[in-house]
């Protein structure tokens, strides 16, 4: 087996849960646009948050043993985790993940704190044709009037950008200012360790990139889109879809990015980016990362006071 993680079946034999875990904070030193991020304690305090949040993708690892138990290695070949983040988690808090089957190859997912506070909700699928949480949320965002924008106003649906150079994740190199840690450091802290991430002991004979690190790889490709700032952002929604098997540690990938929606809520302006990841060697489509990023209106000095 890939994981040695206790899995708890519920009375209805449809929902399964993992154990309570304490995910680690890895982005306290994150920097972009010349300033610290929401994962810095002082920045979080300025925004009125209860603490510096753990990066959302960290929670994805708690679903891997549950999905692997349901679908085996298919999870790492055509798996898709699609999540709406509901409540921030700070280091030291405990989180439990659960999966509820909703049909062949598809399931609902939830993560919650020990006191029941929801952390994220969404879907996990291995059927490429199955609907996903973000598929529905993106469709709704496209149909919603964005209103007047002051931070993401320079973005337009259909804008595209491509990284000039291939990107990769190896075991020991830190992943830039956005992700100032190496895969080795992540694996030392990951909630669900597996030899599949660091040895040849898996069906593909090579170490594979964990789900929670695939968005890190896509982020290494750089921005390419102009958002006004300095301002502080956060992940609102994230979907990671494997298309043709896992991504491999050390392999080079090309990333193409496209703006697929823009919008706002009471506290943030936001934008949706679809990242298409392809093998730099063969050109084959390997994975897709759909990211909905929010930017706190109050963190941008140029935001009109009467709109806050």
Question: For residues 254 and 234, what is the distance between their CA atoms, to the nearest angstrom?
Answer: 24
Question: For residues 64 and 264, what is the distance between their CA atoms, to the nearest angstrom?
Answer: 32
Q: How many CA atoms lie within 13 A of 171 on its CB side?
A: 8
Categorize the per-residue pLDDT at 222 as very low, low, confident or very high, splitting at 50, 70 and 90.
confident
How many C-beta atoms lie closer than 10 Å to residue 223's C-beta?
A: 14
Residue 35 has pLDDT above 50, yes or no: no
User: Was domain 8-307 assigned CATH 3.40.1050.10?
Assistant: no
Sequence-distant (6+) residues with CB within 8 A of 70 are 16, 99, 101, 107
Q: Do residues 229 and 270 make contact, with C-beta atoms less than 8 angstroms apart?
A: no
Paired tokens of 57: 């993708």
Single out the residue of 111, 117, 81 nearest to residue 97, CA to CA: 111
Give me the phi and psi of 4, to 5 degrees please.
Answer: -115, 65
Question: For residues 120 and 17, what is the distance between their CA atoms, to the nearest angstrom?
Answer: 14
Categorize the per-residue pLDDT at 39 as very low, low, confident or very high, splitting at 50, 70 and 90.
low
Question: For residues 147 and 21, what is the distance between their CA atoms, to the nearest angstrom?
Answer: 40
User: In Å, how far are 69, 75, 120, 142 from 302, measured between CA atoms?
Assistant: 50, 45, 31, 26
Question: For residues 10 and 8, what is the distance between their CA atoms, to the nearest angstrom?
Answer: 6
Sequence-distant (6+) residues with CB within 8 A of 12 are none
DSSP state of 297: G
Question: For residues 107 and 129, what is the distance between their CA atoms, to the nearest angstrom?
Answer: 13
Range of weakest confidence among 80-84, 88-92, 97-101, 169-173: 88-92
How many C-beta atoms lie closer than 10 Å to residue 99's C-beta?
A: 24
Question: For residues 125 and 105, what is the distance between their CA atoms, to the nearest angstrom?
Answer: 5
Categorize the per-residue pLDDT at 5 as very low, low, confident or very high, splitting at 50, 70 and 90.
confident
Question: For residues 168 and 54, what is the distance between their CA atoms, to the nearest angstrom?
Answer: 23
What angle (nearest 5°) sits at the alpha carbon of residue 84, between those of residues 37 and 194? 80
Strands 160-162 and 253-264: antiparallel
Stated pTM of the model: 0.92
Residue 260 has pLDDT above 90, yes or no: yes
Say if residue 264 is exposed, middle or buried (CB neighbours under 10 Å; 0-12, 13-18, 19+).
buried
Categorize the per-residue pLDDT at 279 as very low, low, confident or very high, splitting at 50, 70 and 90.
very high
H or E element: which one contains 89? none
Residue with tokens 């209805």: 12
* Mean pLDDT of the chain, nearest integer: 90
3-state secondary structure 96-111: EEEEEEEECCEEEEEE
Categorize the per-residue pLDDT at 126 as very low, low, confident or very high, splitting at 50, 70 and 90.
very high
Range of weakest confidence among 24-28, 58-62, 163-167, 227-231: 24-28
Adjacent-strand bridge partners of 122: 83, 109
């Amino acid at each position: 087996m890939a994981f040695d993680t206790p899995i708890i079946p519920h009375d209805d034999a449809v929902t399964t849960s993992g154990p309570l875990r304490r995910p680690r904070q890895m982005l306290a030193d994150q920097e972009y646009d010349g300033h610290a991020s929401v994962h810095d304690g002082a920045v979080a305090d300025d925004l009125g948050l209860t603490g510096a949040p753990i990066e959302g993708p960290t929670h994805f690892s708690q679903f891997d043993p549950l999905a692997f138990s349901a679908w085996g290695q298919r999870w790492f070949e055509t798996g898709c985790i699609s999540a709406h983040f509901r409540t921030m988690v700070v280091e030291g808090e405990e989180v439990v993940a659960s999966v509820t089957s909703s049909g062949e190859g598809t399931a609902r997912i939830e993560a919650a704190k020990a006191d029941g506070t929801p952390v994220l909700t969404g879907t996990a699928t291995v059927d490429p044709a199955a609907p996903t949480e973000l598929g529905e949320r993106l469709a709704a965002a496209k149909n919603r009037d964005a209103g007047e924008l002051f931070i993401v106003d320079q973005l337009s649906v259909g804008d595209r950008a491509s990284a000039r150079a291939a990107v990769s994740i190896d075991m020991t190199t830190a992943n830039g200012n956005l992700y100032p840690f190496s895969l080795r450091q992540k694996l030392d802290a990951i909630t669900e360790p597996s030899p599949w991430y660091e040895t040849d002991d898996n069906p593909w004979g090579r170490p594979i990139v964990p789900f929670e690190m695939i968005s890190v790889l896509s982020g290494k490709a750089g921005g390419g889109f102009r958002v006004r700032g300095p301002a502080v952002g956060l992940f609102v929604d994230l979907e990671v879809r494997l298309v043709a098997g896992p991504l491999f540690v050390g392999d080079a990938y090309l990333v193409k990015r496209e703006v697929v929606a823009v919008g706002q809520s009471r506290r943030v302006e936001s934008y949706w980016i679809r990242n298409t990841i392809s093998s730099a060697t063969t050109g084959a489509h390997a994975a897709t990362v759909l990211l909905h990023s929010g930017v706190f209106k109050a963190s941008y000095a140029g935001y009109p006071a009467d709109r806050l």
